[in-house]
Amino acid sequence: MDPQWALLAGALVFIITPGIALFYGGRERATSMVNMMMLSAGAIAVTTLVWTLWGWSLAFAGKDMAGGVIGDPLSGLLFRDSMVADHGVFTSMDANSGLSGGIPAAFRLACAVVAVALITGALAGRVRYAIWLIFVAVWITLVFAPLAHMVCGGGLLSPNGAISQALGISVHDFAGGSILHIAAAVSAFAIVMIIGGHAHFPLKRFVLHIKNVAHTSGNANSGATNSRNPKSRLSRALWADVEHAKNAASETVVSPVATVTEVAAESTATQSAVENGVAARQPHNVPFVMLGVFLIWFGWLGLMIGSSAGVPGVAGYAWVSSTITASASMLAWGVTERLHSGCFTALGAASGVMAGLAASAAAADVIAPLWALVLGVLSGVITSLVTHSRTFVRYDGALHVVSVNGVAALIGVLAVGLFADGSGLLAVGDWHQLVAQLCLIGITVLYAGAVTAVLAFVLEKLFGWRISEAKERKGVDLADQGERAYDFSSIAQSHDGAVVAVADDDADKTQMAVLTSVDIDMSENEIEQSDFMADQSEANSEQGDSKADDTKSEVEQKESSSEEESETVEKDKSAQNNKKTEKRNNSAKE
């Protein structure tokens, strides 16, 4: 392969990492977006330094040690076996003879970064950034580098390794289905089991109705009630779109002045809903998820080219095969989702593409187009069912990387043993390749799971992974990075003048559901001002009632005075009549 094309392939693989940040960041709360980007940025920085110092040597460049488990960390220290200064150009061989040693090192570095970045999908919103950086350095050293050496660097599972010699056939993993996806998924699972999933806090919805109140009040007084079904889905309770929230406003706001009305499920109901699989955390930015998966797909083509070792025919074959698998997986996930929930979602399409790419990693260069299509369908259907199962929903999306990348990559590794041209069980009837692939899966799962679990446990006991509960309520972006991904200073207003706001106690800020379903902070001062307006209106109403009472009292006093005057007049008339009667009586006597 031309060195320039090899470097371009490595650059394309680097694009996968920011794609992962967008893919998983969009799936999380708005208050975790900056943190997701920083986790990926930290993965790039720390992995690069570790790879330069000893990671490359442990994985690929070093002499075999420990029975084929790792390489010598000193033989390739600082790329000294791969790069020497020669007239200002770093090369370990004649520039005309092939690729210099630095280019494979750079390409493998990009792959290592991708493996680390995949783990971030399980950690968003609740881990301390400093602990993450420590974890990356140790994980690359103790997990990724040994696995890479065993599979691709001349170790136990390589063609000349002890296990391959014993089986009579070597394992096949074209582009890292095991060392990238399965290892990352198992590691993510181990960490989540140690530190737990996302915390569930009381969820509250507040409806702020500022204009067209008379219309809303009329609707409320004409039969709308203030009751709310406590068993409604969490997705409707927190992430409803503007139209749904407007309907909620028309049903609940009864005061003719600006008010803030709580319309939310209590924390116990929310916790129960999530644990029972009623609903999972909803994404704050679906377009980010789609953009992220497209970047991953684009970068994936570079991974296919770079993994072909400079053989143009293999590169083109893998390129086409992986695209077929990803496309079939996307459609299969969509159909499964349609049957399950009644709609095709963008999240489902993105997850289907991710599953297809992960499934194609191990087998893209050895399966026929028909089997690539079958592999895509299998990966899309199975990962969709696993992702929507109650077991994974109760972890609130923290295990998405396990249910999608891990499960799909496992299917892809097995597909080599089933569908591979010349060695697959279903292709030629040979079971030896399938046994080798099962050994690859077993060693990867056991090694990555055990080492990561110990590492995560030690870090938890020494430093603690999670940020505090108060900071998690506030949002990890502000708590750990001191920044916000979004800063909206005004309240979104609907076309009829009604303003609908949503408050999420998870962020310790009032947040609003806008047309893009983005959480945006609403200032506490505005809430307090609304409360003040309501109190002031109530006070004015009381003053009006007082004035009315005073007026009524004056009227009663006037009526009382009129009655007294009438009684006085009647008394005077009676006295005059009495006098006239006395005069008549006196005249009669005379």
pLDDT tens track for 454-466 = 999 999 999 999 8
Which position has the higher pLDDT, 513 or 72? Answer: 72
Phi, psi of 504 (to 5 degrees): -125, 115
Is residue 57's pLDDT more than 80? yes
Handedness of CA 338, 203, 238, 348 (dihedral sign): negative
Give the pLDDT score at 309. Answer: 75
**396 phi and psi angles, rounded to 5 deg:** 60, 35
Confidence of residue 513 (pLDDT cuts 50, 70, 90): very low
- Average pLDDT (439-466) is 95
Cβ pair 83, 102 in contact under 8 A: yes
Q: Assess whether pLDDT exceeds 70 at residue 15.
A: yes
Q: In sequence order, which ranges of 342-420 are alpha helices (DSSP H)?
A: 346-363, 369-387, 390-393, 400-401, 407-419
How many residues does this entry show for the chain?
A: 590
CA distance 430 to 274: 45
Mean pLDDT of 354-367: 95
Instruction: Name residue, tokens 């220290």.
Output: 77
Contacts of 14 (CB under 8 A, 6+ apart): 44, 110, 113, 299
Can you tell me the distance from the alpha carbon of 271 to that of 198, in angstroms, rounded to the nearest whole number? 11
How many Å separate Cα 152 from the centre of its chain? 32
Least confident of 376-390, 408-422, 488-502, 565-579: 488-502
What's the average model confidence in pLDDT over 340-357? 93
Half-sphere exposure of 31 (CA within 13 A, CB side): 24
76/54 Cα distance (integer angstroms) = 7
DSSP state of 308: T
With DSSP H G I counted as helix, E B as strand and the rest as coil, what are the percentages for the chain, rounded to 5? 65, 5, 25
pLDDT tens-digit profile of 520-558?
Answer: 333 344 444 445 555 555 566 666 666 666 666 666 666
What confidence score (pLDDT) does residue 546 get? 61
Q: Which position has the token pair 């792959």?
A: 111
pLDDT per position as a tens digit, 396-430: 556 789 999 999 999 999 999 999 888 888 877 78
Which of 170, 471, 103 lies closest to 309, judged by CA?
103
Phi then psi dihedrals of residue 438, to 5 deg? -65, -40
Cβ atoms < 10 Å from Cβ of 526? 15
Of the given ranges (202-206, 234-238, 284-288, 293-297), which has the lowest mean pLDDT? 202-206
Residue 236 has pLDDT above 90, yes or no: no
Could you tell me which of 499, 510, 441 has the C-alpha nearest to residue 473?
510
Least confident of 84-93, 174-183, 266-275: 266-275
| Nearest one of 261, 250, 265, 245 to 202, comparing CA atoms | 265
Kindly tell me if the per-residue pLDDT of 439 is higher than 50.
yes
Distances in Å between the Cα of 585 and the Cα atoms of 310, 474, 577, 579, 588 are 147, 102, 12, 10, 5
242-295 confidence digits (pLDDT tens): 344 344 334 333 333 333 333 333 334 444 444 443 344 678 899 999 999 999
Contact by Cβ (8 Å): 115, 180 = yes
Nearest Cα to Cα of residue 335 among 381, 279, 382: 381
The pLDDT assigned to 537 comes to 59
Backbone angles phi, psi at 101, to 5 degrees: -65, -25
What integer pLDDT is reported at residue 569 of this predicted model? 66
pLDDT, mean over the chain: 75
Average pLDDT score over residue span 168-175: 90
Domains, the chain, ordered by start: 3-198+281-469 (1.10.3430.10), 206-274+486-522 (no CATH)
Measured distance CA(566)–CA(577) in Å, rounded: 16
- The predicted model gives 476-491 an average pLDDT of 76
> Would you place residue 5 in the very low, low, confident or very high pLDDT band (cuts 50, 70, 90)?
confident
Helix 33-50 with 102-119: angle, nearest 10 deg? 140
pLDDT at position 321 over 70: yes
Give per-residue pLDDT as tens, 574-588. Answer: 777 777 677 776 766
Contact, 20 vs 120, CB < 8 A?
A: yes
Other CB atoms closer than 10 Å to residue 354's CB: what's the count? 33
pLDDT, residue 199, reads 64
Q: pLDDT: is 230 or 306 the higher one? A: 306
Segment (H or E) for 194: helix 183-195
Rounded distance, CA 40 to CA 132, Å? 10
Q: For residue 89, what is the enclosing H or E element?
A: strand 89-91
Q: Where are the alpha helices (DSSP H) in 394-495?
A: 400-401, 407-419, 425-428, 432-462, 469-474, 476
Q: Which residue has the higher pLDDT, 400 or 312?
A: 400
- Taking 70 as the threshold, does the pLDDT of residue 476 lie above it? yes
Letter for the amino acid at 7?
L
Give the per-residue pLDDT at 152: 87
Encode 318-336: b = buried (16+ Cβ within 10 Å), e = exposed.
Answer: bbebbbbbbbbbbbbbbbb
Q: Say yes or no to pLDDT of 297 above 70.
A: yes
Q: Report residue 103: phi and psi, to 5°.
A: -70, -50
pLDDT of residue 163: 86
To 10 degrees, what angle do helices 407-419 and 369-387 make? 150
Residue 413's nearest CA partner among 387, 433, 386 is: 433
Identify whether the C-beta of residue 362 lies closer than 8 Å to the C-beta of residue 371: no
For residue 46, the SS3 value is helix
Amino acid at 259: T
End-to-end CA separation in angstroms for the chain:
156
pLDDT surpasses 80 at 8: yes
